[in-house]
C-alpha cells in the first residue's frame, strides 16, 4: 500500500518550495553561464568550470551537470565508483594509470588546492607523450574530465581533499605507475615533496612504459625485458 494522497501532496509542495527558493536565491542556476566547458591541452580532456554564486552567507556552486556533460559527449551514467582522498601539503600521488582499456575519471578538489598533472600515454593520440597541468581548488571548482589512457597525478598545494569518479570498478591488478620525478617528463612540482608512497617511489620510468606501449602495437616486437629497457 502506497503513501496517502495527503503525504504525496506535502512532498510535492516541499519540492516546489525548495525549487522556488533556489531559483530566487540563484537566478542563474539554470543558465548555461552557470557552468562552461574548456578544452584541455591533451586530446579529449575537458574542464567543467563553474561560476559560483557568492554572498554574505558564503557560496553556492554547481559541481557537475548531466546535461552539460552529455552535450560534450560524456555518458554520466557510466561513472560508477566515487572515491575521496586527503593529502597533506606537499604530498604527491603520481603518476597513475590503468592497463587494459583504461578508465575515464572525473576529478575535482573539494577542499584546499592541488596541482593536477596529466600525461598522454596513448600511442595513437595526437598528443601522445605530452603533458598538461591545472590547479584545482575549492575557489574555482573546476571539474576535470580525464579520458582513458592518460597518466594522472597531483601535488597538494595545501592540505587537500580530492574526489574521483571513475567509469570502471577499481582493480589493483591493472594499476600502472610512472615515477613522479621521471627525468624525461621533467614535471615541475611546485613544492618540496613532504610525503609519497613506497609504490610511487618504486614506479617504472616513462621510457619503460613507452617501450611497452609501443611494443604492444608493433606486429614484430623485440624483446622488452627489464634488462633491455633503459
Q: How many domains does the chain have?
A: 2
> What are the φ and ψ backbone dihedral angles of 53, each rounded to 5 degrees?
-95, 120
Whether 217 shows a pLDDT value over 80: the answer reads: no
- The catalytic residues are 96, 164
pLDDT per residue over 59-102, tens digit each?
898 889 999 999 999 999 999 999 999 999 999 999 999 998 89
pLDDT per residue over 148-183, tens digit each?
999 999 999 999 999 999 999 989 999 999 999 999
**What integer is the mean pLDDT of 207-227?**
71
Same domain, yes or no: 65 and 113 = yes
Residue recorded with cell 592497463: 99
Same domain, yes or no: 69 and 150 = yes
Same domain, yes or no: 102 and 205 = yes
Same domain, yes or no: 66 and 148 = yes
Same domain, yes or no: 168 and 66 = yes
Same domain, yes or no: 79 and 174 = yes
Cell numbers that stand for 191 in this block: 613544492
86-119: string of b/e by CB count within 10 Å (b at 16+)? ebebbbbbbbbbbeeebbbbbbbbeebbbbbbbb
pLDDT per residue over 44-58, tens digit each?
999 999 888 889 999
> What are the φ and ψ backbone dihedral angles of 13, each rounded to 5 degrees?
-65, -40
Q: With CA atoms as reference, report the closest residue to 87 among 29, 152, 157.
A: 157
Same domain, yes or no: 176 and 154 = yes
Same domain, yes or no: 23 and 41 = no
Same domain, yes or no: 10 and 117 = no
Beta strands in 40-167 (DSSP E): 46-50, 53-55, 58-60, 81-87, 92-98, 105-111, 113-120, 131-137, 143-146, 150-156, 160-166
Same domain, yes or no: 218 and 136 = yes
Q: With CA atoms as reference, report the closest residue to 158 among 110, 201, 117, 197.
A: 110
Residue recorded with cell 595513437: 124
Q: Which domain holds residue 97?
A: 35-228
Strand partners, 49: 36
**Cβ(119)–Cβ(209) below 8 Å:** no
Whether 15 shows a pLDDT value over 90: the answer reads: no
Q: What angle do CA 210, 213, 219 make, to 5 degrees?
A: 125
Amino acid at each position: 500500500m502506497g503513501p496517502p494522497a495527503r503525504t504525496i501532496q506535502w512532498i510535492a509542495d516541499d519540492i516546489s518550495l525548495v525549487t522556488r527558493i533556489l531559483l530566487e536565491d540563484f537566478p542563474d542556476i539554470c543558465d548555461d553561464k552557470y557552468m562552461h566547458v574548456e578544452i584541455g591541452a591533451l586530446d579529449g580532456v575537458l574542464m567543467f568550470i563553474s561560476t559560483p554564486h557568492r554572498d554574505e552567507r558564503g557560496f553556492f556552486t554547481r559541481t557537475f551537470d548531466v546535461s552539460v556533460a552529455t552535450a560534450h559527449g560524456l555518458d554520466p551514467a557510466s561513472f560508477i565508483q566515487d572515491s575521496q582522498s586527503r593529502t597533506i601539503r606537499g604530498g604527491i600521488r603520481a603518476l597513475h594509470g590503468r592497463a587494459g582499456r583504461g578508465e575515464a575519471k572525473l576529478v575535482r578538489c573539494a577542499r584546499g588546492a592541488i596541482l593536477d598533472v596529466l600525461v598522454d600515454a596513448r600511442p595513437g593520440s595526437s598528443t601522445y607523450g605530452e603533458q598538461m597541468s591545472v590547479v584545482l581548488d575549492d575557489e574555482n571548482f573546476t571539474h576535470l574530465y580525464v579520458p582513458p589512457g592518460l597518466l594522472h597525478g597531483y601535488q597538494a598545494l595545501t592540505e587537500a581533499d580530492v574526489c574521483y569518479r571513475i567509469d570502471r570498478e577499481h582493480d589493483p591488478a591493472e594499476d600502472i605507475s610512472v615515477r613522479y620525478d621521471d627525468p624525461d617528463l621533467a614535471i615541475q612540482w611546485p613544492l618540496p615533496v613532504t610525503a609519497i608512497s613506497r609504490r610511487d617511489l618504486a614506479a617504472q620510468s616513462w621510457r619503460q612504459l613507452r617501450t611497452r606501449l609501443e611494443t604492444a602495437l608493433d606486429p614484430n616486437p623485440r624483446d622488452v625485458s627489464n634488462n633491455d629497457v633503459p
